[in-house]
Chain A
């Protein structure tokens, strides 16, 4: 079945450092891919998405590119802030199924 694999956390960075959180998926075909962010004590918020190969999703300085060759959707940000500290979930969804399959999440801690 479909699955999403994320790098284990926590990832601890200093403010203004470069961020990469790896995400790979296993699926037959080309699902839509998402990054969600969960701040402490809150629900999930959609951060960005890509619906087809080579699409780049971007939002709030975060970017991720849908790479079908490597079945990856790595999250990047050039300069993290303390306020980016949260748990980041990679997810996939098939059109028509209407259900998300999440990775296990990666906790990011940004220190001042």
Chain B
């Protein structure tokens, strides 16, 4: 089945130690998104790629970066994780001009 895959499902990192989260998709969608969801809160969009065009949300901290080497893969890099960055990180995709976003299962990040 076509799907959005996130690895790992659970990630533990140390305060200040760089970490990378991975997302891949078999839907061949040209738009990929990264959301941050803190406990009991709504998902918050960090940034998205429209093809290779990177779109950062105005309030996304500089500590968060992203890479999209090809259509199928997208990475979220946190350069120096703080305790406040502990959250569920959700990757989503959508087809150009379509409304539905398809979400992966998420990566739960713990910062110690």
Chain A positions near chain B (C-beta within 8 angstroms): 32, 34, 36, 41-46, 49, 51, 89, 93, 95, 98-100, 102-105
By a CB distance below 8 angstroms, the chain A residues around B48 are: 98-99
Give me 17 A-to-B residue pairs in the complex whose CB atoms sit less than 8 angstroms apart, sorted by A's number.
Answer: A32-B99, A34-B99, A36-B103, A42-B106, A43-B6, A43-B104, A44-B90, A49-B100, A89-B43, A93-B99, A95-B99, A98-B31, A99-B33, A99-B45, A102-B43, A102-B44, A104-B42
Residues of A within 8 A of B44 (CB): 102
Give the dominant DSSP class at B's interface: strand
What total of chain B residues lie within 8 Å of the partner, measured CB to CB? 24
Asked whether, in the complex, the Cβ of B99 is within 8 Å of the Cβ of A49, the reply is yes
Q: Report chain A residues within 8 Å CB of B99.
A: 32, 34, 49, 51, 93, 95
Closest to A44 in B: B103
Closest residue of A by beta carbon distance from B104? A43
Question: Which residues of chain B have C-beta atoms less than 8 A from A102's C-beta?
Answer: 42-44
Q: Does B82 contact A (CB under 8 A)?
A: no
CB of B42 within 8 A of CB of A43, answer no
A35 CA to B106 CA in the complex, in Å?
A: 18
A105 to B40, CA, bound (A): 8
